[in-house]
A and B are shown apart, each in its own frame.
Chain A
Amino acid sequence: MERTAIRRRLTWQTGTVTEVREETSTARTIALDVPDWPGHLAGQHLDVRLTAPDGYRASRSYSIASAWTGAGIELTVEQVPDGEVSPYLVDVLKVGDPLEIRGPVGGWFVWKPEQPGPVQLIGGGSGVVPLMAMLRAHSAAASTAPARLLYSVRRPASVIYVSDLKDVAMSEEVAITFAYTREAPPGESREPKRIDAELLKSVAFQPGDEPTTYVCGPTPFVETVADLLVAAGHDPARVRTERFGPTGGPR
């Protein structure tokens, strides 16, 4: 990993918002230009810090949504009701504004194109964000590794990256399945319910495929899915997890 060769501690730096895109009624993608960004791996995250006029500071960690292609980074932020940071990022921040960030960080929940074997991605809600970065990295590298995304989402209107997911699903190597938990679209044969053992058996890679599995979502979602995978015979060492909580983003 080239990035770890840069042996330095991490400091805060200021990026500039270059674009904002609505993804759903509560989530939006923020594109940033960061002059000294060293590049990142798919799955890494960054910390955002806001400072109030009285000096009060709050920071939160957000997954990077984009694959590194040499210019710019993107975050996708889901608004947390009564959150300290996400309402500002979703409702207030606009193109041209500065944003204080620190990153990239995290070397565990990452996918590298040179990694052998199939990749299984399982996301709950905005847990899809780092998985989207992995699919984008897969596409940018023209990887031939078979990749599957299982995306648990409340209803069709809650799906983040609707058009981008259609694009990546064009690849013969990529398969995407939606698991609707509250409201399914017309024509969906599975009634709205959470991911269960039966669904994992029918749409996810099996232990014999030797996939590396990435599970990201709220803590209860991740615990449930990881337990189902291990119960189905998957090697726990090949199941990587990232949990986020009610305080926003991954944390």
Chain B
Amino acid sequence: MTADEPTYLDGNAAAGAMREVFAVDITAATGQCAGCGDRGAFAEARLYVDAPGMVARCRRCDDVMVRVVSTPDSTYLDFRGLTYLRIRTPTT
């Protein structure tokens, strides 16, 4: 891999780790970046999986939105880079 090749994936890649913790899919949820206010599907965030844990950054301003770190007995979630996360709930 060359230095100018992007190393990130996208929020889709966090689906399994998130569903281990949450009862609903988070990747289709809409989040707002606390840094620049950009709104978009969590799936469209840039996801770095080569850090310890996973880091999701804003596709527009590159600020850290979410960090997920799993240990053998716990999962640490840091959502402070999001103003909110809108999860659609079934109406029935």
The chain A residues found within 8 Å of chain B, CB to CB, are: 1, 4-5, 7-11, 45-47, 59, 61, 102-103, 105-109, 219-220, 223, 240-247, 250-251
Contacts and interface: CB of A to CB of B under 8 A. Distances in A.
Interface of B: 1, 5-13, 15-16, 18-25, 27-28, 41-44, 49, 90, 92
Q: Which 5 A-B pairs have the closest CB atoms?
A: A108-B43, A105-B15, A107-B25, A107-B28, A47-B16
Contact of B12 (A9, A102, A109): A109
Given A45-B12, A107-B25, A244-B9, A10 B19 contact: yes
Contact of B16 (A5, A8, A10, A244): A10
A251 B13 contact: yes
Contact of A61 (B13, B20, B90): B13
A142 B46 CA distance: 35
Nearest to A101: B16
Contact of B23 (A7, A244, A245, A251): A7
Given A8-B23, A220-B5, A103 B10 contact: no
A108 B9 contact: no
Contacts of A109: 12, 43
A5 B18 CA distance: 17
A105 B25 contact: yes
Given A220-B6, A241-B10, A242-B10, A106 B1 contact: no
A160 B11 CA distance: 26
A245 B12 contact: no
Among B1, B10, B20, B24, the most chain A Cβ lie within 10 Å of the Cβ of B10
Nearest to B89: A4
Contact of B9 (A1, A103, A243): A243
A251 B22 CA distance: 21
Nearest to A102: B16
A108 B12 contact: yes
A114 B39 CA distance: 26
Contacts of B90: 1, 4-5
A106 B17 CA distance: 11
A246 B1 CA distance: 8
Contacts of A245: 7-9, 49
Contact of A251 (B9, B21, B25, B42): B9
Contacts of A244: 9, 13
B12 A242 contact: yes
Contacts of A105: 15-16, 18-19, 25, 27
Given A241-B44, A251-B9, 17 more contacts: A7-B24, A9-B20, A10-B19, A10-B20, A102-B19, A102-B20, A103-B16, A105-B16, A105-B27, A106-B25, A106-B43, A107-B28, A219-B9, A220-B5, A243-B13, A246-B1, A250-B12
A108 B20 contact: no
A153 to B, nearest CB: 19
